[in-house]
């Protein structure tokens, strides 16, 4: 197991060098997306002026303060509590996000499914698991809201965060078909019958 410190953006080879069980700390830039952002980008073919090529996106649900534009708040927002939402809802967008926008890493909670794993294998990408519900800590890794697009979808806008040592995150899915989530699910399913037997609740 290796710890990787990645200065974003990264290329396909770097993404492929990540293996499940490794840990990752990100630096510089991170994009925030969510259900509505993706629906507009891909189901309604909306284009963004922000450059996601080689970057990481996080499935987020930000609580922000609206403030006057200043050096600290270039687009008039400061972070208040930035947390992570369940990734699985956004499964069908992974390939498009990678093919059209060049995204390499997805950060979220709960893991994603087979379509995502396939896209990672074909295009070079990885899923980084963050601890869901640890939003106060996560917020301290975010320095600034640098830019924003599609803010008519607020708070489900496309956010650009300036980050400082964002992590450690756990590589949950990689470009080599590995998924910690699938591994744990299989192990749990294998233990189920013995657990039921231990409390006299077998079928």
Partner 1 sequence: MDLDMREVEAVCAALYVQALKILPPDIKAGFKTLVQNETDATGKTILGTMVENIAVAERTKNILCQDTGIPIYNVTIGRNVAFDGAELKAAIRRGCERATKENSLRSSVVHPITRKNDQTSCGIRVPIIHVDFDTREETVGIEMIPKGSGSENGSFLKMLLPSDGIKAAKRFVIDRVVELGGRVCPPTIVGVGLGGTSDLCMHLAKIAATRPLRTVCSDEEGAKIEAELSQAVNELGIGPQGLGGRSTSFAVHVEVAATHITQNPVAVNIQCHSARRALATVTPGGIAFS
Residues of this chain that interact with ligand SF4 (CB under 6 A) are: 132-133
Residue 109 and residue 163 in contact, taking contact as beta carbons nearer than 8 Å: no
68 near partner 1 (CB under 8 A): no
The secondary element (H helix, E strand) that includes residue 153 is none
Helix (H, G, I), strand (E, B) or coil at 64: strand
Q: Residues 67, 100, 131, 165: which binds partner 1 (CB under 8 A)? A: 131
Residue 170 binds which of partner 1, ligand SF4, none (CB < 5-8 A, kind-dependent): partner 1
**CA distance to 28, 58, 154, 158, 160, per residue, from 62 (Å):** 19, 11, 10, 11, 12
Nearest distance, CB of residue 61 and partner 1, angstroms? 5
Q: Residues 3, 69, 72, 140: which binds partner 1 (CB under 8 A)? A: 140
Q: Residues 15, 57, 58, 82: which binds partner 1 (CB under 8 A)? A: 82
For residue 139, the 8-state DSSP code is: H
The secondary element (H helix, E strand) that includes residue 112 is none
Tokens of 194: 């013995």
Residue 17 and residue 4 in contact, taking contact as beta carbons nearer than 8 Å: yes
Cα–Cα distance, 168 to 91 (Å, whole number)? 23
Residues 21-60 contacting partner 1, CB under 8 A: 21
Pick the piece of the chain touching partner 1 (CB under 8 A) from 33-41, 92-100, 132-140, 143-151: 132-140
Nearest residue (CB) to partner 1, 13 versus 199: 199
Helix (H, G, I), strand (E, B) or coil at 70: coil
Q: Residues 123, 129, 148, 173: which binds partner 1 (CB under 8 A)? A: 129
Residues 179-198 contacting partner 1, CB under 8 A: 180-181, 183-185, 187-189, 191-192, 194-196, 198
61 near partner 1 (CB under 8 A): yes
The secondary element (H helix, E strand) that includes residue 29 is strand 23-33
DSSP letter for each residue of 78-98: EEEE--B-BSGGGGGGHHHHH
Nearest residue (CB) to partner 1, 9 versus 79: 79
Q: Which residues bind partner 1 (CB under 8 A)?
A: 21, 61-63, 65, 80-83, 86, 88, 109-111, 129, 131-137, 139-140, 155, 168, 170, 172, 180-181, 183-185, 187-189, 191-192, 194-196, 198-203
């Amino acid at each position: 197991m290796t710890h990787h410190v990645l200065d974003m953006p990264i290329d396909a080879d770097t993404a492929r060098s990540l293996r499940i069980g490794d840990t990752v700390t990100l630096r510089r830039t991170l994009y925030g997306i969510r259900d509505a952002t993706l629906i507009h980008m891909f189901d309604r073919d909306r284009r963004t002026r922000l450059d996601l090529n080689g970057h990481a996106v996080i499935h987020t649900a930000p609580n922000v303060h609206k403030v006057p534009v200043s050096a600290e708040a270039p687009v008039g927002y400061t972070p208040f509590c930035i947390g992570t939402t369940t990734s699985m809802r956004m499964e069908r967008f992974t390939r498009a996000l990678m093919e059209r926008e060049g995204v390499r890493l997805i950060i979220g909670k709960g893991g994603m499914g087979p379509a995502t794993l396939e896209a990672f294998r074909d295009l070079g990408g990885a899923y980084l698991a963050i601890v869901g519900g640890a939003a106060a800590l996560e917020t301290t890794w975010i320095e600034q809201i640098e830019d924003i697009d599609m803010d008519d979808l607020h708070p489900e806008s496309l956010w650009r965060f300036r980050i400082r040592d964002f992590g450690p995150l756990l590589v949950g899915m990689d470009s080599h078909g590995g998924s910690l989530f699938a591994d744990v699910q299989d192990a749990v399913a294998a233990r189920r019958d013995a657990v039921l037997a231990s409390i006299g609740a077998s079928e």
